[in-house]
Structure 1
Amino acid sequence: MTAEITKTFTISNNDDALIFGINDANLKIIAEKLNLKIHPFGERVDLTGEPSQVQLATQILTILVKLLHSGIQIGESDVVSATQMALEGQLEYFADLYNQVILHNAQGHAIRVRNLGQRQYLQTIKKHDITFGIGPAGTGKTYLAVVMAVAALKKGQVRRLVLTRPAVEAGENLGFLPGDLKEKVDPYLRPIYDALYDILGTEHTNHLLERGVIEIAPLAYMRGRTLDEAFVILDEAQNTTREQMKMFLTRLGFGSKMVVNGDATQIDLPRHAKSGLIEAAQILRNLPRIGFVDFKTSDVVRHPVVAEIIAAYQQKTGSN
């Protein structure tokens, strides 16, 4: 066992203490991830642990200070991403992620990718007609797909956005809910609405919905249509049947892009039904105009415990 060492990291002024987070939350994330003891004292931080981990923590804090000086606000999700990339030997690429702003949200905050998995996802969407994003919750699949859709709309690359998902979760209770099919399924489309409200603002989103520039509808509404000059997103695709998936993919029209997202470990279909997402991945993975991005647990950018929960379930069930 390597002997522990203690190293002191010093910041140049009180403003740099912002990288520590509220109540030192950012330091606690680094300490937990790297198995360190971290003690802040004003403008210095003592780092105690194995030499390699102490070195990683020092590198992380140095990069966070540089980002702070460049005008970037540091949040817990940034620290989670930096620490995870450090553990994977990718820390040298971390600062590069902040060089490109995809969009500014309704509050004027810059939207950027958080890790290499997300960057690959965006690059794949740009390059391919159809992109499959497959992986656990919390990796940013839905949000970033909506960001790319809004960006394409603003640039005039498409005329409308079509956002959909299957209604499997509603189950047999669907018929007892009031309203037509769309009104019944709208609660299950809430993650898409939330993303749009964050990116465009509630008023602007509702205006575009009223004009038909944005359409949010259950998957059943896609049958029989050809979607030209549209950015089309299918969310929760693990809950499509093989027939639904084929139907959806063949809606692609000229000047359009499709993004299909899902988590193969969260299938709610009846036991006898095979997921259309899993079958599509098996059949279509080698076609040149279709791209696949497989997110890992380490790509999760939510609270650190989320990735731990996902990993624990994977270990217990043996699922990917």
Structure 2
Amino acid sequence: FGREGKPIKAKTRNQKRMVEVCEVNDIVFALGPAGTGKTYTAVAIAVRALKNKLVKKIVLTRPAVEAGENLGFLPGDLKEKVDPYLRPLYDALDDMLPMEKLNFFMENRVIEIAPLAFMRGRTLDNAYIILDEAQNASPLQLKMFLTRLGPSAKCIITGDLSQIDLPGHQKSGLRQAVEKLEDVDGIAVINLTTEDVVRHRLVKEIIKAYEQIEAEERARKERKKAEQNADKEELIETKPDWQPAKPGQS
């Protein structure tokens, strides 16, 4: 139950699977588009574990890199800088815990919300840890995060590989981590889809439309690459085997 006794439960088949998978695995990657309830479900799972005294604390974190912004270029003190990035985590918690209890937990560091960079050098044990928006973590950042886990820690990593906001050509660590770790015992991957969208009914259609645009763009790039490779092969085939003799050579 959340605030004011409101029951909180999984609303879709994949959200239910996410809950089940988290019960039997220590690390779970929850992937899917916006609006599928990845973050909300993850926070609900962690809060339930805390209420049932399965863990002593919750740590919620996000990369503080979105839409090309960097903390170093934002005005204000640290809290003012990071709060906008962490707001979705606050919102989920606010829906599940009475305000006075949430404030107590945060003041006593039972629940901690911090940017991903602040995890470096720590060991997080007897805790439920959630890394949200993990598609915006670099490979080194994700490795750093995953190696923070103590013996009694559990972890949910959420992300959407179609919404990578890393600058330039920087690679997302999430894709690499899923590919390398999904077959490791104790690690699971759950994929949510547009069928799991629980926001406004039009959000599902909007996501589908943009997925179509992205698919067409990928196909266009693949065709262009194939044409370029074909042109190179044709150039090699038509290149003469002989070279004209240099002056003074017989």
Same fold (TM over 0.5): yes
TM-score, with structure 1 as normaliser = 0.65
Deviations 1:34-73 (A, max 9, x none): xxxxxxxxxxxxxxxxxxxxxxxxxxxxxxxxxxxxxxxx
Match of residue 2 from structure 2: 105
Counterpart of 1:160, as a letter, is: K
Give 3-state SS (helix, strand or coil) of 2:30's partner: strand
1:147 is aligned to 44
Q: Could you tell me which residue of structure 2 aligns to residue 308 of structure 1?
A: 205
Q: Does 1:168 align with 2:168?
A: no
Q: Tell me the distance in 2 between the aligned counterparts of 1:317 and 1:227.
A: 38
Q: Distance in 2 between matches of 1:184 and 1:172?
A: 9
Mapped to 2, the partners of 1:245 and 1:183 lie a distance apart of 24
Q: Deviations over 1:210-232 (max 9, x none)?
A: 01101100001100111010000
For 2:80 and 2:121, the matched residues in 1 are separated by 21
Distance 1:293 1:208 in 2: 29
Matched residues in 2 for 1:229 and 1:172: separation? 32
- Answering whether residue 126 of structure 2 is matched by residue 229 of structure 1, we say yes
Q: Corresponding residue for 2:86?
A: 189
Closer/same/farther in 2, CA of residues 310 and 145 from structure 1, 3 Å limit: same
What percentage of residue pairs aligned between the two structures are identical?
Answer: 51
Question: What is the alpha-carbon distance in structure 2 between the residues aligned to residue 165 and residue 238 of structure 1?
Answer: 10
Q: Tell me the amino acid that sits aligned with residue 101 of structure 2.
A: H
Q: CA deviation at 1:114?
A: 0.9
Structure ID, larger Rg: 2
Pair 1:203-2:83 in alignment: no
Partner in structure 2 of residue 124 of structure 1: 21
The CA distance in 2 between the partners of 1:173 and 1:284, in whole Å, is: 30
Counting matched residue pairs gives 216
Relative to structure 1, the CA distance from residue 314 to residue 176 in structure 2 (aligned partners, 3 Å threshold; closer, same or farther) is closer
Q: How far off its partner does 1:203 sit?
A: 2.0
Paired position in structure 2 for 1:246: 143
Q: Structure 1, residues 222-243: CA drift from partner, whole Å, max 9, x if none? A: 0011101000000000000000
Unaligned runs of 5+ in 2: 219-250
Between the aligned partners of 1:240 and 1:128, the Cα distance in structure 2 is 22
The Cα shift of 1:173 comes to 6.2
Please name the residue that 2:176 is paired with. Answer: 279
Taking structure 2 as the reference length, the TM-score comes to 0.83
Q: 1:173 to 1:113 in 2, by over 3 A?
A: closer
Higher relative contact order (CA 8 A, sep 6+): 2
Root mean square deviation, CA, Å: 1.5
Unaligned runs of 5+ residues in structure 1 are 1-103
Q: Separation in 2 of the partners of 1:113 and 1:286?
A: 26
